[in-house]
Structure 1
Amino acid sequence: MQKFIQIGDGYGDIFEMEALIQYNHQRIKSGIYLHTEGRPSTFILVMAPVRGNFQALYTVFQGIPMTSKHKQKYKIINENLEKYNIQKVEMSTRDPDDFYAREQYFQYMLGVLRLNNLIPPLT
């Protein structure tokens, strides 16, 4: 079972994500950026499954600005991914506003990530 876990608001999210990468880098499968045109990107930190096949997907939801002037969060995350040799994936997705609720968007993204073999299939 995969579960999206949203972390932080404002600048706190980047520091929490940085700590997750530094202290759990051996459990991390990949870092995934979900880009939507004209909006800040979403970042997902995919952890290895643990007991009972639970897999955490730590998320900074639409909190990574991609304008050339505001890419500091993007830079910090990428530096940490490179430091620990963690695979980085970038992809474009549908706008979360296309969905009635954020949970529906997350269900859609689980399907997209499974189809692209970025997370394991349901068992």
Structure 2
Amino acid sequence: MQKFITMGEGYREIFELQALIEYNHQRVQHAILTYDDQSNASFLLVMKPVQQDVQAVYTIYNGIRFKDGKSKKYDLIKSWCDEVDINIIEIETKSPTVFHEREQFYQYLTGILRLNHLLLPMT
């Protein structure tokens, strides 16, 4: 079971993300940037499963400006991940703005990530 934990939309939460990467990098399974050409990007930090296949997915939801593969916030996040040898997977997705609720976007992402074997399958 995956649980999306929205940290925020990329302002002060970026430093909480830094602490997660710095102090829990051994628990990080995947770092993922989702982007489209219509809105800001989202960043996901997929943690390794804990008891009974519970898997946390920390998210900065739609809070990273990402144009033409460039972004100062993304460069900062990438530098933190590089320091602890975490590769970032970039995935082009639909814009979160096409969904009526944030939870619908997370369900859409869950499907994409499961198809790409980046999240545990349903049990």
TM range (shorter): over 0.9
| C-alpha spacing 1:8/1:96, structure 2 compared with 1 (3 Å) | closer
**RMSD over equivalenced CA pairs, Å:** 1.5
Q: Distance in 2 between matches of 1:117 and 1:88?
A: 15
Which residue number corresponds to residue 118 of structure 1?
118
Tell me, which stretches of 5 or more residues in structure 1 are unaligned?
Answer: none
Matched-pair contact (CA < 8 Å) for 1:29–1:87: no
Instruction: Calculate percent identity across the aligned residue pairs.
Output: 43
Give the TM-score of the pair, scaled to structure 1.
0.92
**Number of residue pairs aligned between Structure 1 and Structure 2:** 122
Q: Match of 2:120, SS?
A: coil
Give the TM-score of the pair, scaled to structure 2.
0.92
Q: Match of 1:74, SS?
A: helix
Q: Match of 2:24, SS?
A: helix
| C-alpha spacing 1:10/1:122, structure 2 compared with 1 (3 Å) | closer
Q: Distance in 2 between matches of 1:9 and 1:60?
A: 5
Deviations 1:54-112 (A, max 9, x none): 100000001111147x8221011101111111121001101112222110110111010
Taking the TM superposition and a 5 Å limit, the aligned residue runs for 1:1-123 are: 1-67=1-67, 71-123=71-123
Give runs of ≥4 in structure 1 deviating > 4 Å: none
Tell me, which stretches of 5 or more residues in structure 2 are unaligned?
Answer: none
